[in-house]
Amino acid sequence: MALRCLMVGAGLSGAVIGRALAEAGHNVIVVDARDHIAGNCHTERDAATDVMVHVYGPHIFHTDDEEVWSYVNRFETFLPFKNRVKTTSQGAVYSLPINLHTINQFFGKTLRPDEARAFLESKADLSIDDPQTFEEQALRFVGRDLYEAFFKGYTMKQWGCSPSELPASILKRLPVRFNYDDNYFFHKYQGMPENGYTAMVEKILDHDNIAVRLNTRVGRADMADYDHIFYSGPIDGWFDYELGHLGYRTLDFERFDYDGDYQGCAVMNYGDIDVPYTRITEHKHFSPWENRKKSVLYREYSRACTESDIPYYPIRQVAEKTLLAEYIKLAEQEKNITFVGRLGTYRYLDMDVTIREALDCARTWLAVQETGQKMPVFNISVL
């Protein structure tokens, strides 16, 4: 029997789950409070410069997941793109993630890979056995000089606190390499959608069983009309923040234009604490095949998220996790709803993980329709 399902949010989570249910013959309504689809991956062609702009910050697709890679390629052509990030620190430009070039340039040396490994080991704080904090992880693996040049100031700007208060897992996202590989990611597949992410999501949503309604905010009071709801909005928002707000960092993007090539790369980080922004992104370099002359750039500033801001990065410190556990208890009493995506589960999720989880969630729901079991409120472990 065809059921009527609501996707709250037209980002990747809502679109991918909605598509799977629509293909299985169910009726899907996708709503979004914003005036566009694609959520935070939204891309828009700028009228003045013709540059494809990543409206909510730079998005580079990278994955090892074969199914996810073939899924996105089914809807959009992905062109080769390697994220080669640079950072400006103390008046010089270096290559990131830390690699042999960074080490040799920073210390004025000509070390070979094994020598560089031994050299960095000599800089490391070996008294730290099992690094727990971001700072300990940095001091243990790259030493104080590189930590202070590249990570300390940037991280204080990004997270608004000392790296000694953040978990080591945040820094573990970045590799340290003893060769000249300056690819920011290490995944097998990387690329950029030829016509932007919004074009891809538009094709995912293009199905006879899917209706999309923009500029539509829904909440708990709208549940009754649907057999099941997949909610990719903020979990605390679903409960009208009755237990308080989960902490996020928000971003301010300060746009400026330039006639030509401003910085020669897509992403330039700024490690110094006295530069107020964390990075500058030059959007035309995300689509190098388009060869645009004019340029659109974003200076990116991070700050605490208030009620009227867009939540970007979940903070997930001890206090937030305690509050999250309380919201999970409330959520588990709800019926006919599954909390999904980066806001619904209050986790930082890359796009490929978002799609993987959305595909798995849709599969679980479709299987449950066959077996008559209860659909879980969370299809993954959230805490």
173 binds ligand UDP (CB under 6 A): yes
34's contact among ligand UDP, ligand FAD, none, with CB below 5 to 8 A by partner kind, is: ligand FAD
Segment lying near ligand UDP (by CB under 6 A), choices 8-16, 40-48, 170-178, 361-369 = 170-178
> Least CB distance from residue 310 to ligand FAD, whole Å?
8
SS3 sequence, the chain? CCCEEEEECCCHHHHHHHHHHHHCCCEEEEECCCCCCCHHHCEEECCCCCCEEECCCCCCEEECCHHHHHHHHHHCCEECCCCCCEEEECCEEEECCCCHHHHHHHHCCCCCHHHHHHHHHHHCCCCCCCCCEHHHHHHHHCHHHHHHHHHHHHHHHHHCCCHHHCEHHHHHCCCCCCCCCCCCCCCCEEEEECCCHHHHHHHHHCCCCEEEECCCCCCHHHHHHCCEEEECCCHHHHCCCCCCCCCEEEEEEEEEEEECCCCCCCEEEECCCCCCCCEEEEHHHHCHHHCCCEEEEEEEEEEECCCCCCCCEECCCHHHHHHHHHHHHHHCCCCCEEECHHHHCCCCCCHHHHHHHHHHHHHHHHHHHHHCCCCCCCCCCCC
96 binds ligand FAD (CB under 6 A): no
- From residue 84 to residue 113, the character string flagging contacts with ligand UDP as x (rule: CB under 6 A) and all else as - is ---x--------x-----------------
Of the candidate residues 124, 128, 174, 366, the single one contacting ligand UDP (CB under 6 A): 174
196 binds ligand FAD (CB under 6 A): no
> Least CB distance from residue 166 to ligand UDP, whole Å?
7
158 binds ligand FAD (CB under 6 A): no
What sign results for the dihedral spanned by CA atoms 348, 234, 40, 304? Answer: negative
34 binds ligand FAD (CB under 6 A): yes
- From residue 265 to residue 294, the character string flagging contacts with ligand UDP as x (rule: CB under 6 A) and all else as - is ----x-x-----------------------
Count of positions on this chain that bind ligand UDP (CB under 6 A): 13
Segment lying near ligand FAD (by CB under 6 A), choices 156-164, 259-267, 291-299, 335-343 = 335-343
Contact, 283 vs 292, CB < 8 A? no
Segment lying near ligand FAD (by CB under 6 A), choices 59-67, 240-248, 256-264, 375-383 = 59-67
177 binds ligand FAD (CB under 6 A): no
> Least CB distance from residue 168 to ligand UDP, whole Å?
11
> Least CB distance from residue 136 to ligand UDP, whole Å?
14
Query: Which residues are catalytic, by number?
Result: 173, 177, 249, 279, 300, 348, 350
Among candidate residues 86, 74, 48, the one with its CA nearest the CA of residue 284: 48
Contact, 178 vs 113, CB < 8 A? yes
Of the candidate residues 72, 229, 351, 361, the single one contacting ligand FAD (CB under 6 A): 351
174's contact among ligand UDP, ligand FAD, none, with CB below 5 to 8 A by partner kind, is: ligand UDP
Binding site residues, ligand FAD, CB under 6 A: 8-14, 31-34, 39-41, 57-61, 217-219, 232-233, 251, 312, 341-343, 349-352, 354
Binding site residues, ligand UDP, CB under 6 A: 87, 96, 150-151, 154-155, 158, 170-171, 173-174, 269, 271
